[in-house]
Amino acid sequence: MLRGILISCGIIVVFLLVLLGGVRLFGAETYDRLMNRIAADPDAPVPMVEDKSLHESLFIADLHVDTLKWDRDLLVRSEWGHVDLPRLVEGNVALQSFTIVTQSPLPYGSSERYRNGEKCVSGGSVDMAALLAASQGRPAFSTRERAIYQIERLKAAIERSKQREGPELRLIRDVDDLRQLMADRRTGQQVVGAVLGIEGGHWVGNTPDDLQAVDEDMQQLFDLGVRQFAPNHRFDNALAGSGEGCERYGLTPMGERALKNAERLGIAVDVAHISQQGMTDAARILSEPFMVSHTGVKGSCEDPCRPARNLSDRQVESVLEHRGVIGIGYWPYAVGPSVWNIADAMQHVMQIADRMGLEPGRHVAFGSDYDGSVTPFFDVSDLDILTAVMRQREQPFDERTIRNIAGLNVCRFFARVLPGGSEQAAEEICSPAPLPRA
């Protein structure tokens, strides 16, 4: 039996070495190009003059990009991938959440297995984030250290942006930072706010029953500048089950402690990827609004959209009941085969809000998942295509709704939950008046 175990372990080690060797052979750049392509839609609208004019007057915010995991200079326009500072400026983005992935399964399909006849994603599959980190000379054996490396990488880019001519990247830590960002954008300054986020706190709660360790881990994230925290990625962990995981349990005691700490500290809670029960548990224990940073919805899911990855109507209701926001993604697995499906998903959320007696356009946001090993319909420099989609629908979104969805909903959300936040600050800072393009 021991011999069989040793042989199995040897096979696994060889497999990992082959994978790592493949990433090194082809290079992290080639892997980046392969995983972060564009799925251009031939039916996408061409933005008209009116679309562009409105787009350039919007305050635009996006809740989720994974750009920091790739070895690109954030301040230089790249020929591949989806996001960098020059393209954020071209797309007129004012506020961007840079989310940090520290553990990732194989691409869609490769990491799936079956449990009780249903597909699921195992957290025990090959960790592609570790292999990518190793190939780039980054910390490879600690999810915590991988996160810290990416945090410091963003901060270094922010400092470099201040020391040279051109657009400035600015870290948003509290409501005063958000207020200053809005004020500077109003005067036409080229400045883009950056919110640091975690997608999967896989090291938090890994010491069984040590709640103090959870407190310390969350305090460390806060001190490092993290202001957005998602307990899960695509698999179950010590904090909560995932919607695609193999167990799909709710929040564990460690998970409850982590989210309560986040709320207390002023870190926005992101329940993207969490299980149905985890969402129910989060709604039970949290008093402040929470978000889903990047998703589609089951109710408008059209092939190749993957329902297991998206929100049920009940989950949508949970977010809306807590005055939260839902970031709709731009890639086919989230919404379907066309850019027009992005608006379908938005409208589905709006219809649920309307049934609940809420203003329909106040809880939808942009959640691109750019550079997340997905193939969106356009990169951030062509974001005016999405404005055109909303304006040119058979039943078009009105201007107030477009302004809210494009960024004012996110502005109000962060103005409510960040340190120093309040309902009054949200209304004061995030007024719907048109902004001059930075």
Give 164: exposed, middle or buried? Use CB within 10 Å, 0-12, 13-18, 19+.
exposed
pLDDT of residue 433 exceeding 80: no
pTM of the model: 0.92
Assess whether 11 and 122 both reside in one domain.
no
Q: Would you place residue 113 in the very low, low, confident or very high pLDDT band (cuts 50, 70, 90)?
A: low
Top mean pLDDT of 21-25, 226-230, 304-308 is at: 226-230
DSSP state of 407: I
Are both 208 and 352 inside the same structural domain? yes
pLDDT at 373: 94
How far from 416 is each of 72, 98, 194, 263, CA to CA, in Å?
33, 19, 17, 11
Structure confidence at residue 206 (pLDDT):
86
Q: Is residue 393 part of a domain?
A: yes
Residue 126: its pLDDT value, please? Answer: 84
Q: Into how many domains does the chain fold? A: 2
Residues spanned by the domain of 390: 46-430
Mean pLDDT, residues 82-103 taken together: 97
Q: What is the average pLDDT value for the chain, to the nearest integer?
A: 91
Residues 25 and 55 in one domain: no
Residue 366 lies in a domain: yes
- pLDDT given at position 368: 98
DSSP SS3 for 383: coil
Ramachandran assignment for 222, one of left (phi > 0), alpha (psi -120 to 50 degrees), beta (any other): alpha
Rounded distance between C-alpha atoms, residue 251 and residue 274, angstroms = 9
Strand segments, DSSP code E, in 116-183 are 118-121, 168-171
Contact 102, 202 (CB under 8 A): yes
Q: How much of the chain, in percent, has pLDDT values that exceed 90?
A: 82
Instruction: Give the pLDDT confidence score for residue 12 in this predicted structure.
Output: 40
The answer as to whether 41 is a domain residue is no
Q: Are residues 138 and 202 in the same domain?
A: yes
Is 244 within a domain? Answer: yes
For 13-22, 251-260, 278-287, 429-438, which range has the lowest pLDDT when averaged over its residues? Answer: 13-22
Burial 176-210 (b: 16+ CB within 10 A, else e): ebbbebbebbeeeeebbbbbbbbbbbbbbbbeeee
* 3-state helix vs strand vs coil in the chain, percent to 5: 45, 15, 40
pLDDT at site 435: 66
Q: What integer pLDDT is reported at residue 114 of this predicted model?
A: 55
pLDDT tens for 25-65 read 457 899 999 999 999 999 999 999 999 999 999 999 999 99
Residue 314 shares a structural domain with residue 167: yes
- The answer to whether residues 255 and 290 belong to one domain is yes
pLDDT for res 437: 65
Higher pLDDT, residue 4 or 408: 408
In degrees, rounded to 5, the angle at the alpha carbon of residue 45 between the alpha carbons of residues 39 and 46 is 105
Please indicate, yes or no, whether residues 308 and 349 belong to a single structural domain of this protein: yes
Q: Note whether residue 285 is domain-resident.
A: yes
Beta carbons of 243 and 273 less than 8 angstroms apart: yes
Whether residue 112 sits in one domain with residue 16: no
Q: How far apart are CA 268 and CA 225, in angstroms?
A: 12
Does residue 389 form part of some domain? yes
Q: Are residues 30 and 87 in the same domain?
A: no
Same domain, 79 and 205: yes
Tell me what pLDDT residue 22 has. Answer: 46
Helix intervals (H) in 301-422: 313-321, 332-335, 340-355, 384-391, 399-403, 409-417
Q: What is the mean pLDDT of residues 158-180?
A: 97
Instruction: Read off the pLDDT band of 394 (50, 70, 90).
Output: confident
Q: Is residue 340 predicted with pLDDT exceeding 90?
A: yes
pLDDT in the model for residue 307: 87
On the 0-12 / 13-18 / 19+ scale of CB atoms within 10 A, 421 is buried
* Residue 182 forms part of a structural domain: yes
Same domain? For 50 and 31 the reply is no
Paired with 252 in beta bridges are none
Is position 437 within any domain? no
Which of 167 and 22 is assigned the larger pLDDT?
167
The separation between CA 280 and the C-alpha centre of its own chain, rounded to angstroms, equals 20
pLDDT for the residue numbered 1: 42
Which of 163, 172, 170 is closest to 189 using CA atoms? 170
Residues 29 and 157 in one domain: no
Q: What is the rounded distance in angstroms from the CA atom of residue 122 to the CA atom of residue 226?
A: 27
CB under 8 Å to 180, separation ≥6 — which residues?
none
For 287-336, the pLDDT digits (tens) are: 999 999 999 999 999 999 988 889 999 999 999 999 999 999 999 999 99
